Chains A and B, each alone.
Chain A
């Protein structure tokens, strides 16, 4: 008797197994999208990570047949491993990748594409053209140009400015070249350009040295809001708040709030939204759930945040 019931139990579980298998088969339209981004090592990437998680949560609820795999990598080699793992163990249908570096990621992403998957590349292009189905990026040239134009239009002839640069990369070069181009032909002099590495402490140190070196500074292009925080602190330590204003970039919430409040030291800001990862994930998801064509290049413009429009750029819940 006991034995028979055991058999029954086995049969039942086998049937259940079959049933769940059938359910699985019915759900064959289930699509898996892998998202691979750099880990949150500084403010901007922290914001980007937050927006990625937020978007995935929202899309997962909106489209039950979509599943997302998110991985964050501290360096290019780890990111390559992540992508290989996604292919091997999760059999992804689409990949959204923000390459840590262009060169090392090109071949692994191409392998994903060659396997017939939908590939979205975000922000940093691959070193070979035509691999990705969709390219989503911010506009680095506009980022430098918009800032440069504000300097040109709002400083008097003969004004002197200093610039803090980021980590030496092509992205930083594009921004700085566009900034210089916007100032060309005006009488505004760029006194110095040193690397603050998008880091508060480094920017603080560089700005302290600028302040020792130059008796006259009328404006600072900090080019990043983390650097702007360090710069502002160095200026206030030297008691020269009234002499110069500071333009950061990327729209950190603390800075945007101060612009909303009309802080004279922070007249405007230039966007380079970390939420661009959300655009990329959303568009990739739409590719699987709708008939809307989602291939091509999508460049997100850099806008000027002013006290009048600052409200719409303020994300109080984001860590950035």
Chain B
């Protein structure tokens, strides 16, 4: 019963938002709108699932938004460069996908290695790499926008817009990532080690857990998921610029916390994170669909709902601990 109360906090907020949306505008529950909201949640969603592992292990990654922009830029450059040799086919696109995924792994390894091997605070390391990735993509784009070749773009486009009926590929990928993430967190040895390190890394070390390696792996997993998000992001607009992925890191972290993962680590809840991501995108969607307030106040409404969702949860937790 206690556990139910916990999990229900964000879920109740989500259901309340869905009801509110449906009451305010009948278009809200139309399949097209649901597809839109779920598909655009997928980028932040996949990143947030990775972020759940990093935060649960007691870490933090501020660089994911810039990393996404950088990887998108590099993937576009790689595809454009491969085009003359490879031609306009799926092989070229697979190269771009591979570059994004591999680049994500490497970037995650870089963050993780600086944190676990050079022993620098995660906040500082990822604040640094955040600036580095952001500048690099601006530099690669010469201050403008990197655009994918038009023919490739047309070929690649269905990866974001296509799918099985109205369930598009980003939604399917997000669902698979969420289910796999939940399983890993709950049932795998890696997941248990992550939680153990987050609750007390000294005890974890005495229990013969390779703390450094597990932490490094959480950052690499996050990097890989950022790469996966990029694979699905590039076909949407076919471009990347210095303005891509701005503040994604904060949205991902907010989703994780709304979902009930403790910012200090030790308790990870992947399902909660998914609910958190959906709450964040639904707020945006509802504010756009209904003329409730001046658009100047959108940020304030978002802030209030985020804080409320977390407050509800904290009260339940202290009640339980008492």
Q: Which residues of A contact B (CB under 8 A)?
A: 39-43, 45-47, 49-50, 165, 168, 192-195, 199-201, 204-206, 208-213, 226, 229-230, 233, 237-238, 254, 318-320
Contact = CB atoms under 8 A, between A and B. Distances in A.
Contacts of B89: none
Interface majority SS (helix, strand, loop, mixed), chain A: helix
Contacts of A201: 237, 243-244
Contact of B25 (A45, A208, A213): A213
Given A168-B296, A194-B295, A46 B237 contact: no
Interface residues of B, number: 32
A209 B289 contact: yes
A319 B143 contact: yes
Residue in B32, B241, B246, B284 whose Cβ sees the most chain A Cβ within 10 Å: B241
Given A47-B144, A195-B295, A319-B144, A200 B243 contact: yes
B106 to A, nearest CB: 25
Nearest to B238: A233
A152 B242 CA distance: 35
Contacts of B36: 208-209, 212
12 contacts: A46-B138, A46-B141, A46-B143, A46-B242, A168-B296, A195-B295, A199-B246, A200-B243, A209-B33, A212-B33, A226-B145, A238-B32
Contact of B138 (A40, A200, A233, A237): A40
A192 B161 CA distance: 26
Given A41-B242, A212-B289, A204 B237 contact: yes
B138 A212 contact: no
Interface in B113-172: 138, 141-145, 147, 161
A199 B296 CA distance: 16
B163 to A, nearest CB: 12
Interface in B284-305: 284-285, 288-289, 291, 295-296, 298
B317 interface: no
Nearest to B144: A319
B250 to A, nearest CB: 15
A43 B291 contact: no
B30 interface: yes
A225 B239 CA distance: 13
B5 interface: no
B186 interface: no
Nearest to B33: A212
A200 B237 contact: yes
B288 A46 contact: no
